Amino acid sequence: QVQLVESGGGLVQAGGSLRLSCAASGRSSFPGAMGWFRQAPGKEREFVAAIRWSFGMTLYADSVKARFTISRDSAKNAVYLQMSSLKPEDTAVYYCAARLRGLESSTPQDYNYWGQGTQVTVSS
């Protein structure tokens, strides 16, 4: 069993920045990859970014590629999402996910564990 807990969400003005954190516990070994997804009301869960745990290769959705940065801290067993130049369309609940075996992926079905989510609201 793996527990993931997101934090760092909140209200921010358009053009501002925010950093999300995801702390993992209950792991016996490092995962293959971790990712961030988001979901707005009435919409499907959407891929945001992912990172390969071993070497740090990253994958981004086109909509956030120039503005968001995903990173991980192996010593702390944590993953982060640095968000800059935020837009109102970035408003959503952001979820952290862990894929125990496999490379970074944009497909939600590839991930085995999910956090409870943290709300990000961008005002105009």
Residue-wise pLDDT tens digits, 21-78: 999 998 667 899 999 999 999 999 999 999 999 999 999 999 999 999 999 999 899 9
Q: Is the pLDDT of residue 115 over 80?
A: yes
In this prediction, residue 33 carries a pLDDT of 96
Phi-psi region of 30 (alpha: psi -120 to 50; beta: other; left: phi over 0): beta
- pLDDT over threshold 70, residue 79: yes
Between CA 9 and CA 42 the distance in angstroms is: 20
Q: Provide the pLDDT for residue 28.
A: 64
Per-residue model confidence as pLDDT tens digits over 89-104: 999 999 999 999 999 9
- Listed in order, strand segments (DSSP E) in 1-124 are 3-7, 10-13, 18-25, 33-39, 46-52, 58-60, 68-73, 78-83, 92-99, 113-114, 118-123
User: Does the pLDDT of residue 6 top 70, yes or no?
Assistant: yes
pLDDT for 107 beyond 90: yes
Asked if residues 44 and 118 have their Cβ atoms less than 8 Å apart, the reply is no
End-to-end CA separation in angstroms for the chain: 40
d(CA 72, CA 89): 25
pLDDT of residue 30: 85
Write down the pLDDT at residue 18. 98
